[in-house]
Structure 1
Amino acid sequence: MCGITAYRGPTAAASRARNALERLEYRGYDSAGIAARRPDGSTMHARTLSGVAALAVVVGEEPADATTAAIGHTRWATHGEVSEANAHPLEDCGGRLYVVHNGIIDNADALRARLVGAGHRFATGVDSEVIVHLVEQAQRPGVGLGDALADAVTHLSGSWAVVVLDARSGALAATAHGSPLICAEAGGGTYFASDVGAIAPEVDEFRVLEDDDVVEVDAAGPRWHRSGGSCRPRGLWPVPRTALLASTGRHRDHMGNEIDEQPLIARRVLEALSPGIADGRLWRGLGLPSLDGIDRVAVLGCGTSLHAGRAVAGVFGRLGGMPTRTLVASEVAHEVWEPRTLVIAISQSGETADVLRALDSLPPRHGTVLALTNNTSSTLARRSDAVIDCLAGPEVGVAATKTFVAQVLTGVCVALSALAAADRGDSACVDADLRALAATPDALAAALDTWRGPCAQLAADHARASGFLFLGRGAGLVYAAEGALKLKELSYRWAEAHPAGELKHGPLALVTTGTPVFVVDNGDPRLDVDIAEVTARGGRVIRIGERVLNVGGVALHLPRTGPSWGPLESVIPLQMFARELALRLHRDVDKPRNLAKSVTVS
């Protein structure tokens, strides 16, 4: 969601903060801004609705960019309309203090009323503005910026990652509570960021601010402390190698390149994880209990990550015969948890607020939590009993593509290894799944080659369609759901996914002449009847996953048979079609409206 960057160092602070903001654009945002201290003590303060690129003009006007401290922000509006006035950084009454904030301040209205009564002047409708006025109120002679920030946040209720700039002294102070923030040192300067990807090219290692840590940076360097006492700096984390592996390719948009990269991602995951599957070494290396001590697998996630989890749950259920359930993270509060449950919590960023809040609802001794994430230094990773890296590398497109494939394959490798370690599952079925797993990169590559032309033609044929149906059965249903989600996210057209067997229980009313209906074929013979129902009403069926043989001039459709996690390669044409249709409709496929990559508020 919102992105924070900050830097204090010898020179070029504004440029460094702006460049880091550019690497956070993938998270999605409505506005952006930057504030920096010049050597003469004056302040550069710029905000825009035109994207981070517009800030480059302002920064470029700085003579050799001699700024020594800067903070930057990309905002995804929650409280207050999208406007330049509401963009961060926000300033205090005197123009000395500037603040950037991620999160939500639940008691902002009460604090605003109190601060207005004390004489403070508010310039925005944003909940975050109370923070800068609280710091202003706490900063008295003899009280440093870090202490003032520590005092200010004692009045807050909610979640926050905050960096404050004192434009007079050039000091920075930062703190976090329920929202991610990291700190790193390199080249004589200190960086802050909400995501390691923002500063990965500049640093080799970083520290994570735990809840209520305060870090103050001035001429003496960074100092870590807590309100009422001091603390040592947190341990260092290495910057993940995959944080630098951004997708490149022939497309102008990132999403096209990330779709094309999926066979490479699959090979990366399998090369890293598959050697530990057959002997159970991968599972045992996570330090988790044997499946003999687990009664149920519960998958927890949101959106695309939830769909990936459903595919992974299929391995435990269909192959291992284990009870499984899939839980929407935002709806977990009233769930009844069984003991001896393995909870697989899935989040691309590892900072998804609904997933983290769902973990809060777990009762003591509920079982075991395995985090499946693309960010092994994230809050989710640190709060789990074990973590597995999805190895997807940075994904710039807000709508997930390659991270979905990486999540499915990573989870499948772990699940197969868990079954092997516990000696569960029919050996012939396990062997078939292992062969299918090894063939996945080639299957994904073949899907790319096969569907590139047809997807472009399908997008042209259905550019005027007002809505789409996606159908599947069994293991294919999760891919139908993901296809519908991608189409909604990118094209802004209505798309619904349903079990094909539910057609006659309502959804068939939507089918009329020309209605496009995507069917994900996982080999279930009952799909032929479902397809007949659609075609009888004039719907146009696009069947994904079958094999077609020509016998005596007659096309015979032979359903594919697939592994326990379903026909993963079927997601390729669904992603490609969603992108092609969106481009034809002149949508921004990398930054769909109203979407954020890392949803850190709920």
Structure 2
Amino acid sequence: MCGIFGYTGNKSASDLLLQGLGRLEYRGYDSAGLATVSENGGLEHLKSGGKLSNLIKLIGTEPLTGNCGIGHTRWATHGEPNDLNAHPHGNSSADLFTVHNGIVENYFDLKEMLVKEGHNFLSETDSEVIPHLISHFIEKGFGLEKAIQQTASAIKGSNTVAAIHSKNPGEIIAFRVGNAGGLTIGIGIDEMFISSDLPALAEHTNTVHFLASGQVALVNSNGVNFTDLDGNKVNLETHTIEKNTLFAEKDGFDHFMLKEIMDQPESSMSSLRGRLRFSPYSVLVPEVPLTSKQAQEIKRVVLLGMGSSLHAAQLGALYLEKFARIPAVAEDSSEFRYRNPVIDKSTLVIAVGQSGETADTLEAMNHAKKYNAKIISVANVEGSQATRIAEGTVMMHSGYEVGVASTKTFTGSLICLLLIALHLANDRNSLSKEELSELTEQLTHLPRLMGESTQLNAGTFSNLAKLYSKMRRFLFIGRGLMVPIASEGSMKLKEISYLQAEGMTAAAMKHGPIALVDAETPVIALATNNEYRMKNIGNMNEVLARGGSLTAVISLGDDQLESLVTNALFVPKAPEILEPIIATIPLQLLAYHIADYLNLDVDQPRNLAKSVTVE
């Protein structure tokens, strides 16, 4: 939810910290701050409410010195997003500063104890108890390392913390407890880095360690040592990650979101690459960690996700039942482990999430693991926590996504889930060789079809944006494979335009929501030319009969539907299994153009964060 970046070496820490936070700002942009060990050995810090640009301006007039420091960009959980509540937070003597990602669930009791001891709190945050608690243990006679280990054990919840102290001027000490987002240690030459996400390290190093729950990292410019919370030495594997700095540029687009929508033809090729066989046509996803025998023994599939990933999981469940003929259900990760679900070794759990760090999904995966379920993750970040919990990971390979609203990682998820369904269908013999060959051949056309989808309707969106920016609410409807896409379309509009929208099955509209239909409530219908065509026409006529405005996503050349609807958004004719994926694109572009017309922050919509690492 928040972004942490740290540096120790022989370069200016503040410059590198700001650069790193710029790569992490999608994780939260309510406030930002830095703390460094100054050239004279003391600690300096600056922080500012609002976006990182505010902090950059402040440092321009009040520069920080030193070669070691920590930085933070915040998504607020406790306390308003302002200067006072921004990180880093310090202790009463200001010789210790910390940055924090997570929620200290027992902060009220800890704060009450610390206040009685004379500790002075300045903010409204739960995070501020951490530096005071470290000081509390130092006052009890513990050294800094042991005091931090004691603090990690004392705070409840999922938390990741990094600290600097004036008595250890070149050292950063960090710990992780639970699933409060990852922390990666980057290894340089006479310099070291820490970061919440890999992409912020891409320009500096591709050699890293991943800090796991219950571990502490003691980082200086010469290297890093790891311990558990009791101080026992831990050896962590060193990973070499493929460098990718392409994410940093908009390539002439006004916003990252628009660039990432237009990236989808290429990113879809990356998702397919190496997974299609052409002689004969078939699908093979080597990352699926099941033998043919194990695939045949699977009795049920549970797909887990939150937000856009839940919508992807819903379509994935439909693909699995349709092709692999396995009972499948998509579940909200946050509720899964609390309802005592029925799972066992014959259950396959597929966890979907672009970051691989969503706290609710990680906890659901851990719950499933207790019952010996087979676990696959679908993720876009190599080495993320989800990839380390799962037995196998099907990477999206979508490339880095800066915009907070998911676009190319959503379609990447859909492609991966379709590939998994076809892979399992092959192993389970639920499709004939001829059927599998035909479906695989259809998949080869997907990048071209997505490319055409990005180019169609170019002149339509600006007119719709001007019209729809004045509307009060929207209903998105679909049937069959299009139902999850209706939900995703409504979410995109809500996320970036702040307009109320609701997605549903077209038939469900008659059971209440149709009461909302009026001149100020447009209906967006997904009505490509498939088996639901006549039912879609009936549902759309119900809207028109009540004076509603109807925009429909329809197949190019469908003159009958074009003449029926108020506005048409076209997609190229496509096989049924690909229609949901390509129909996503005009809905993304519609949401983008409405938000852009309203002059809203498309890439960083209010109150949201790219990676939700708190429950």
Is the pair's TM-score, using the shorter chain for normalization, greater than 0.5? Answer: yes
Classify the secondary structure of the residue corresponding to 2:224.
strand
Amino acid at match of 2:607: N
Equivalent residue for 1:31?
A: 31
Q: How far did 1:547 drift?
A: 3.3
CA distance in 1, matches of 2:244, 2:129: 38
Classify the secondary structure of the residue corresponding to 1:545.
strand
Do the aligned residues in 1 keep the contact of 2:34 with 2:69 (CA within 8 Å)? yes
Deviates more, 1:245-254 or 1:347-356: 245-254
Equivalent residue for 1:161?
A: 160
Selected match of 2:251 from 249, 255, 261: 249
Amino acid at match of 2:34: I
CA distance in 2, matches of 1:383, 1:57: 41
The answer on 1:115 being equivalent to 2:114 is yes
CA distance in 2, matches of 1:532, 1:375: 44
CA distance in 2, matches of 1:3, 1:503: 41
Coordinate RMSD, CA, aligned: 2.5
Equivalent residue for 2:462?
A: 456
Amino acid at match of 2:327: P
Classify the secondary structure of the residue corresponding to 1:127.
coil
Deviation readout 1:299-324 (Å, 9 max, x if unpaired): 11001011112222222111222211
Cα 1:234/1:462, change in 2 over 3 Å: same
Deviation readout 1:215-250 (Å, 9 max, x if unpaired): 223476432223434324411122234565456333
CA distance in 2, matches of 1:151, 1:366: 33
Q: How far did 1:561 drift?
A: 6.2
Amino acid at match of 1:70: G
CA distance in 1, matches of 2:510, 2:468: 24
Equivalent residue for 1:495?
A: 501
Do the aligned residues in 2 keep the contact of 1:488 with 1:495 (CA within 8 Å)? yes
Equivalent residue for 2:527?
A: 521
Selected match of 2:555 from 517, 524, 546: 546
Equivalent residue for 1:571?
A: 584
Cα 1:276/1:334, change in 2 over 3 Å: farther
Do the aligned residues in 2 keep the contact of 1:447 with 1:573 (CA within 8 Å)? yes
Equivalent residue for 2:354?
A: 348
Equivalent residue for 1:536?
A: 545
Equivalent residue for 1:337?
A: 342
Cα 1:247/1:451, change in 2 over 3 Å: farther
Deviation readout 1:365-405 (Å, 9 max, x if unpaired): 44211000012311111111111111111111001001101
Cα 1:196/1:217, change in 2 over 3 Å: same
Do the aligned residues in 2 keep the contact of 1:475 with 1:565 (CA within 8 Å)? no
Deviation readout 1:9-57 (Å, 9 max, x if unpaired): 1121111111100000122320000011111123321111242123334
CA distance in 2, matches of 1:348, 1:189: 30
Equivalent residue for 1:14?
A: 14
Deviation readout 1:392-422 (Å, 9 max, x if unpaired): 1111100100110111112212221221233
The answer on 1:300 being equivalent to 2:309 is no
CA distance in 1, matches of 2:221, 2:410: 44
Classify the secondary structure of the residue corresponding to 1:36.
strand
Amino acid at match of 1:442: R
Cα 1:233/1:489, change in 2 over 3 Å: same
Deviates more, 1:377-386 or 1:515-524: 515-524
Q: How far did 1:469 drift?
A: 0.9
Selected match of 1:435 from 441, 447, 457: 441
Cα 1:286/1:108, change in 2 over 3 Å: same
CA distance in 2, matches of 1:323, 1:200: 41
CA distance in 1, matches of 2:253, 2:369: 48
Cα 1:344/1:107, change in 2 over 3 Å: same
Classify the secondary structure of the residue corresponding to 1:165.
strand
CA distance in 2, matches of 1:407, 1:278: 25
Deviation readout 1:177-200 (Å, 9 max, x if unpaired): 122211122131111111111112
Classify the secondary structure of the residue corresponding to 1:548.
coil
Do the aligned residues in 1 keep the contact of 2:268 with 2:446 (CA within 8 Å)? yes
Do the aligned residues in 1 keep the contact of 2:477 with 2:506 (CA within 8 Å)? yes
Deviates more, 1:405-414 or 1:506-515: 506-515
Do the aligned residues in 1 keep the contact of 2:285 with 2:423 (CA within 8 Å)? yes
Q: How far did 1:138 drift?
A: 2.2
Equivalent residue for 2:189?
A: 187
Selected match of 2:198 from 185, 190, 196: 196
Do the aligned residues in 1 keep the contact of 2:152 with 2:229 (CA within 8 Å)? no
Classify the secondary structure of the residue corresponding to 2:276.
helix
CA distance in 2, matches of 1:278, 1:173: 54
Q: How far did 1:564 drift?
A: 3.5
Do the aligned residues in 2 keep the contact of 1:319 with 1:430 (CA within 8 Å)? no
Do the aligned residues in 2 keep the contact of 1:97 with 1:166 (CA within 8 Å)? yes
CA distance in 1, matches of 2:279, 2:81: 49
Cα 1:319/1:577, change in 2 over 3 Å: same
Deviation readout 1:521-546 (Å, 9 max, x if unpaired): 24212101001111111112211132
Classify the secondary structure of the residue corresponding to 1:465.
coil
% same residue:
32
Amino acid at match of 1:224: F
CA distance in 2, matches of 1:279, 1:97: 61
Do the aligned residues in 2 keep the contact of 1:515 with 1:540 (CA within 8 Å)? yes
Classify the secondary structure of the residue corresponding to 1:139.
helix
Classify the secondary structure of the residue corresponding to 2:44.
strand
Amino acid at match of 1:376: E
Q: How far did 1:286 drift?
A: 3.2
Do the aligned residues in 2 keep the contact of 1:197 with 1:244 (CA within 8 Å)? no
Selected match of 2:471 from 465, 469, 473: 465
CA distance in 1, matches of 2:554, 2:370: 44
The answer on 1:83 being equivalent to 2:82 is yes
Equivalent residue for 1:44?
A: 44
Deviation readout 1:100-142 (Å, 9 max, x if unpaired): 0101111101111111111111111111111101111223698
Do the aligned residues in 2 keep the contact of 1:258 with 1:401 (CA within 8 Å)? yes
Do the aligned residues in 2 keep the contact of 1:296 with 1:323 (CA within 8 Å)? yes
Mark the runs of 5 or more structure 1 residues left unpaired by the alignment: none
Classify the secondary structure of the residue corresponding to 1:361.
helix
Do the aligned residues in 1 keep the contact of 2:397 with 2:412 (CA within 8 Å)? yes
Amino acid at match of 1:336: P
Q: How do 1:118-157 residues align onto structure 2 when only pairs under 5 Å count?
A: 118-139=117-138, 143-157=142-156
The answer on 1:387 being equivalent to 2:393 is yes
Deviates more, 1:272-281 or 1:368-377: 272-281
Amino acid at match of 2:557: V
Amino acid at match of 1:72: G
Do the aligned residues in 2 keep the contact of 1:35 with 1:72 (CA within 8 Å)? yes
Equivalent residue for 1:309?
A: 313
Classify the secondary structure of the residue corresponding to 1:564.
helix
CA distance in 1, matches of 2:280, 2:425: 9
Equivalent residue for 2:431?
A: 425
Do the aligned residues in 2 keep the contact of 1:247 with 1:258 (CA within 8 Å)? no
Do the aligned residues in 2 keep the contact of 1:217 with 1:223 (CA within 8 Å)? yes
TM-score using structure 1 length: 0.94
Classify the secondary structure of the residue corresponding to 1:98.
strand
Q: How far did 1:270 drift?
A: 1.6
CA distance in 1, matches of 2:119, 2:200: 34
Equivalent residue for 1:209?
A: 211
Do the aligned residues in 2 keep the contact of 1:34 with 1:70 (CA within 8 Å)? yes
Q: How far did 1:595 drift?
A: 0.8
Do the aligned residues in 2 keep the contact of 1:397 with 1:591 (CA within 8 Å)? yes
Do the aligned residues in 2 keep the contact of 1:374 with 1:390 (CA within 8 Å)? yes
Do the aligned residues in 2 keep the contact of 1:484 with 1:496 (CA within 8 Å)? yes
CA distance in 1, matches of 2:115, 2:558: 75
Cα 1:128/1:420, change in 2 over 3 Å: same
TM-score using structure 2 length: 0.92
The answer on 1:273 being equivalent to 2:253 is no
Classify the secondary structure of the residue corresponding to 2:301.
strand
Do the aligned residues in 1 keep the contact of 2:27 with 2:611 (CA within 8 Å)? yes
Equivalent residue for 2:482?
A: 476
Cα 1:73/1:550, change in 2 over 3 Å: closer
CA distance in 2, matches of 1:309, 1:16: 38
Q: How far did 1:209 drift?
A: 0.9
Deviation readout 1:507-527 (Å, 9 max, x if unpaired): 111112363111112421210
